[in-house]
Amino acid sequence: MHLTLSPFLVGLAGAMATKRQATGEHAMGFIGCSMAENVAQGYVASGGKHMWGPYGTGGLVVQSWTNTNSASWGMFDKQVAKYGKPSEVWVQICIFQNPGATYDEVKQLIANARQHAAPGAKIWITGQPIYPDNPSSCFLAGAQGPQLTVDLAKKAGYDAALNVTYPGDFKLMRGEVQDGCHANTAGQGSLGKQALAFWG
């Protein structure tokens, strides 16, 4: 039996393949803190290849990324030297309870991400994970902290002037958390699958 594809389907398949090849492996960078590391760990363990793996961003909350010449961006640029300027960047808003974060700081992170990425890079923005069955779980961010980061991310996503995309919330349930904030192994796996659903 001989199967013939219509020219339209062949063209569509080619366009899809070209689009995927244009982004490629390790074409998506990220900034954030240990929570972003947890996502990256789970993402790589789940077979994700589009986004960078973890690169030591523990403790790097919003204020670590507001200065485009900071040591944090220096770490990012080492990844750029390894993989090339990313065509996409995920900006995770991650905070300590004090000082939290402001919308102006979030806008600065976005501007800095554009500066360190490829021209025209797509910017994704999320908060740190939320804890649906234990909302005040994360002592580092404070009882309302995780939701604050989500609210800031949504605000940025709805701000047409920023041209960023909010894909949704990362979620961790009680059995997926090791210390009230960070993902355990099961939680990393869950976050990794959520990232795959967002970005492939």
Segments making up each domain of the chain, as ranges: 25-199
pLDDT exceeds cutoff 90 at 190: yes
Mean pLDDT, all residues of the chain? 90
Instruction: For residues 116-141, give the mean pLDDT.
Output: 97
Compute the distance between CA of residue 152 and CA of residue 187 in angstroms, rounded to an integer.
Answer: 23
pTM for the predicted model, two decimal places: 0.88
For the domain 25-199, what is the CATH code? 3.40.50.1110
Weakest-pLDDT range from 8-12, 36-40, 88-92:
8-12
Q: Is the pLDDT of residue 70 over 60?
A: yes
pLDDT at residue 33, rounded to an integer: 98
- Do strands 122-127 and 88-93 pair parallel, antiparallel, or not at all (unpaired)? parallel
Query: Do residues 36 and 94 make contact, with C-beta atoms less than 8 angstroms apart?
Result: yes
pLDDT at 114: 98
Tokens read off for 88? 């996409």
Say whether pLDDT at 35 is over 50.
Answer: yes
Q: pLDDT band at residue 100, thresholds of 50, 70 and 90?
A: very high
Is residue 14 pLDDT above 70, yes or no?
A: no
Label residue 23 by pLDDT band (50, 70, 90): low
Confidence class for position 54, pLDDT limits 50, 70, 90: very high
Report the percent of the chain where pLDDT is more than 70. 88
Q: Is 144 helix (H, G, I), strand (E, B) or coil?
A: coil
Q: Check: CB of residue 73 under 8 Å from CB of residue 11.
A: no
pLDDT beyond 60 at 7: no
Query: How many angstroms separate the CA atoms of 158 and 176, rounded?
Result: 30
pLDDT for res 136: 94
Residue 96 burial (CB < 10 Å; 0-12/13-18/19+)?
Answer: middle
CB 176 within 8 A of CB 114: no
